[in-house]
Amino acid sequence: MSAHKARRIIDQINGRSYEETLMILELMPYRACYPIFKLVYSTAANASHNRGFNEASLVISQAAVNKGTTLKRLKPRARGRSYLIKRPTCHITIVLKDLEFAHLDATTILSRGLAAKGIYPVVDPLDSTSTMLQHRIIDEEHYETMQRVKQSLQRYKELQGIIATLGLVELFKEDRLTVVRARKVECFFSQPFS
């Protein structure tokens, strides 16, 4: 489904409660509603099963659609010719928030890039946030360590394009050291299966 068709639906459910969202998705006349309905239902099932959240108190705090790759398919025609069919795709992100735990106020963002590397859980430490990570709540040493780790991961994210183009050996020595440290931190935060 195209990002335009999905965004038309996502804009209607952003900020609404889980039960209201399901009702809206059931009653909207668009074909794109069914995959989004399944996605919202699956997200709520994961939240209630894995985190123990109550489905009645869930709210869609963030819903976003990004354009994905275009799939190209060939349809056979007469006399051995073919006709190119382009199928647009999209990436849908839905973040649920439990109102019972609103005082914790943390956002966990899952990353497709980490899943592609085989690193689980696929929690992105740069995009995930928490109000508990402040130096008035945690001590100064832990706060500074967290900031340095985030800076290292951010620099690694910036260098990935250069690494893909030129390779790791073309980087400066301090950048290579940053990449090695960031890869170790990535593995430390997760359970790599590959």
Q: Compute the C-alpha angle 182/96/5, nearest 5°.
A: 95
Average pLDDT over residues 124-132: 79
Cα–Cα distance measured from residue 14 to residue 59, given in angstroms and rounded to the nearest whole number: 9
Min mean pLDDT across 19-33, 70-84, 122-136 is at: 122-136
Let me know how long the chain is. Answer: 194
Contact status, residue 61 vs residue 104, Cβ threshold 8 Å: no
- Answer yes or no: is pLDDT of 103 > 70: no
The partner residues of 107 in beta bridges, in order of sequence, read: 129
What one-character DSSP code corresponds to residue 32? T
- Answer yes or no: is pLDDT of 97 > 60: yes
What is the per-residue pLDDT across 25-38, written as a single tens digit (0 to 9) for each? Answer: 888 888 888 888 98
- Quote the distance between the C-alpha of residue 170 and its chain's center: 30
Looking at residue 186, its pLDDT comes to 84
Average pLDDT for the chain: 84
pTM of this prediction? 0.51
pLDDT band at 102 (very low <50, low <70, confident <90, very high): low
Contact status, residue 96 vs residue 18, Cβ threshold 8 Å: yes
- Token pair for 186: 């990535």
- Token pair for 57: 């108190």
Q: Which residues contact 73 (CB under 8 A, 6 or more apart)?
A: 84, 85, 86, 87
